[in-house]
Amino acid sequence: MTTDQIMAWLDWVIIVAYLSFMIYDGIRMTKHSKSVEGYFLANKSLPWWAVGLSVMATQLSAITLVGTTGQAYSDGMRFLQFYFGLPLAMIVLCLTVVKYFHNANVYTAYEYLERRFDVKVRALTSFCFLISRGLALGVVIAAPSIVLSLVLGWNLTITIFAIGLSTTVYTMFGGVQAVTWTDVKQMFVIFFGLFVCIAVIVSYFPSGVGITDGLQLAGAVNKLTTVDFKFDPNEQYTFWSGLIGGMFLAMAYFGCDQTQVQRFLTAKSVDEGRTSLLMSAFLKIPMQFFILLIGIMVFVFYQFQKPPMIFINQDAERAAQTQEYKGVEAKYNTAFENRKQSALEFLQTDSPEAKQKYAESQKSFEASRKEAVDLVKKQNTSFNDVNYVFPTFVLQNMPIGVIGLIIAAIFAAAMSTISAELNALATATTIDFYKRLFNQEGTDTQYLKVGKFATFGWGVFGCIVAMFSVELGSLIEVINKFGSFFYGSLLGVFALAFLFPRAKARGAFFGILVGITTVALLNNYTKIAFLWFNVIGCLVTITAGLLISLTVKNEQAPNHQN
């Protein structure tokens, strides 16, 4: 047996053992999910630390590991600004919605809106959640599918269904108990894999080049620029879009999205639910910083080892058949060697002249890389390989066993998010639609059966969406764009419920439609960055809802104190 074969076997043993244990462990939780409350809310029995880890695991999807590292490689640390509003949002939510939802004894966030307004508002908001989160589920499934398709050489569609449906199995049978406790285990796998990854990357730097040197190189070409105070609504990531738009997005996601609301509804008490959110509030930014740092370290690694000109093998092979390819490749090779020499000179002398020369060589390298990308786009107009940077790096450069560990970490991140989203989608489908509209006097057995069928159905839907989402660009941006079309308007209707006693059901119903329509028009006809959609959608929904409520004379807004 060759060394390559031993490496392949060891990596596969790690991956298969991990996946098998997670599926077994999830199905094992079936014994805790015999009732509706047990299946959907874990009988409100979970400790705050488990809920907190589950909240973080739900966010820390394979998109984060694959998309964010690729984002940092190509665009630097600017993406961190996206999370600046998160701590403020969590504090607001801890003081408001956690108590409201817990004391209302609801299964879904939208169930509360019927008590405040009417069943039409509940159904509409739940439907908006199902559409937005169903689309997001497809993006979450796409990220690990990219990795496994690279490893196996499988058709991407087959890979998508293999990953999506395997996670669907244990979520169907185990319910939220399975989701939460597998999330806890998966978080430890993820963090261990990340620490090993960054240690291996640094060990591959040339002799005499350490982390500090790597950061110096990244800083010289503005990869470490984290804060941009320029106020430009068309700029995607700035301090203001992150602080304001990011706060509105986080309030909507954690306060109005059933995926997250269901997490803190499983906590033992209001205080434990609050603590679980605060845990995420103060750990999320450091965690995201560390993941972005891995992308930066991959960038530094490729200053000394030539990166692939194109990170998707199939597209690279097709481009190689063209007449222009050799000329483009020659320019690329020359640009890389020049950049490598300039980087070493800069580290040795640390002079302004050497820094300027290195920065110019980086621009030349990026220009040669763009020529290669443009060549590929002649054959594939939707080409974008940012999501392939990190998995390609892992497969081509990591040593024996580490490949399997990191891929297992990527799967852990994917499965935790997929299972949470499937469970939340099934909960909303069963409670907000089947139970409320079709069978109010049903038995637990009937509701559990519908919940399991809904889990399977959403799993299939997510796989179908995943087939189209892989070519939409950076997956971390795609998933947040999907959410931003709806989140601001959802936040607006909950604001009407909590803050405006005179808001009426008709105002809430049509207000959310006006908000979503406004965001759709802005997306199609302006260049406003998607983070601002959350602010605009919320404010438009509130304004339209209050104005429309003024036209209602006979409707009495119910008391929503809990």
Average pLDDT over residues 320-332: 89
pLDDT confidence of residue 428: 92
Looking at every residue in the chain, the average pLDDT score rounds to 83
pLDDT confidence of residue 508: 94
Tens of pLDDT, residue by residue over 172-205, are 876 666 677 777 777 787 788 888 888 888 888 8
Tens of pLDDT, residue by residue over 55-94, are 777 767 666 777 788 888 888 888 888 788 888 888 888 8
Max CA-CA distance within the chain?
A: 82
Chain centre distance of CA 195: 20
Q: Is residue 520 part of a domain?
A: no
pLDDT confidence of residue 541: 96
Instruction: Find out whether 226 and 80 touch, Cβ atoms under 8 Å.
Output: yes
Average pLDDT over residues 280-300: 85
Q: Is residue 127 part of a domain?
A: yes
Chain centre distance of CA 14: 25
**Any bridge partners for residue 267, and if so which?**
46
Q: Is residue 387 part of a domain?
A: no
CA–CA distance, 240 with 78 (Å, rounded to integer): 12
pLDDT confidence of residue 409: 79
CA–CA distance, 161 with 287 (Å, rounded to integer): 30
pLDDT confidence of residue 6: 45
Instruction: Find out whether 451 and 426 touch, Cβ atoms under 8 Å.
Output: yes
**180 and 327 part of one domain:** no
**289 and 256 part of one domain:** yes
Helix (H, G, I), strand (E, B) or coil at 308: coil
**365 and 298 part of one domain:** no
224 vs 172, 272, 475, 510, 527, CA distance in Å?
43, 37, 21, 44, 25
Least confident of 335-344, 419-428, 530-539, 548-557: 548-557
The residue type at 248? F
**355 and 420 part of one domain:** no
Q: Is residue 501 part of a domain?
A: no
Least confident of 2-16, 133-147, 337-351: 2-16
**45 and 110 part of one domain:** yes
**92 and 150 part of one domain:** yes
Q: Is residue 202 part of a domain?
A: yes
Residue 436 is classified by DSSP as I
Question: Tokens 């307004």, residue?
Answer: 117
Pull the structure tokens for residue 462.
């997510």
Which of 448, 468, 488 lies at the terminal end of a domain, its last residue?
468
Q: Is residue 217 part of a domain?
A: no
Instruction: Find out whether 251 and 93 touch, Cβ atoms under 8 Å.
Output: yes
Which of 449, 468, 487 lies at the terminal end of a domain, its last residue?
468
CATH number for the domain harbouring residue 194:
1.20.1730.10
Least confident of 24-33, 92-101, 366-375, 438-447: 24-33
Q: Is residue 17 part of a domain?
A: yes
**378 and 416 part of one domain:** no
Q: Is residue 533 part of a domain?
A: no
**79 and 205 part of one domain:** yes
Total tally of structural domains belonging to the chain: 2
DSSP secondary structure, 193-217, as one string: HHHHHHHHHHHTSPTT--HHHHHHH
**Does residue 357 have a pLDDT over 90?**
yes
**345 and 449 part of one domain:** no
CA–CA distance, 526 with 234 (Å, rounded to integer): 9
Average pLDDT over residues 366-376: 90
Average pLDDT over residues 469-485: 67
**450 and 333 part of one domain:** no
Question: Residue 5 — pLDDT band, cuts 50, 70, 90?
Answer: very low
**230 and 318 part of one domain:** no
**78 and 193 part of one domain:** yes
Q: Which domain holds residue 92?
A: 3-209+224-302+401-433+440-468
**Does residue 403 have a pLDDT over 60?**
yes
**Does residue 138 have a pLDDT over 50?**
yes
**Does residue 559 have a pLDDT over 50?**
no
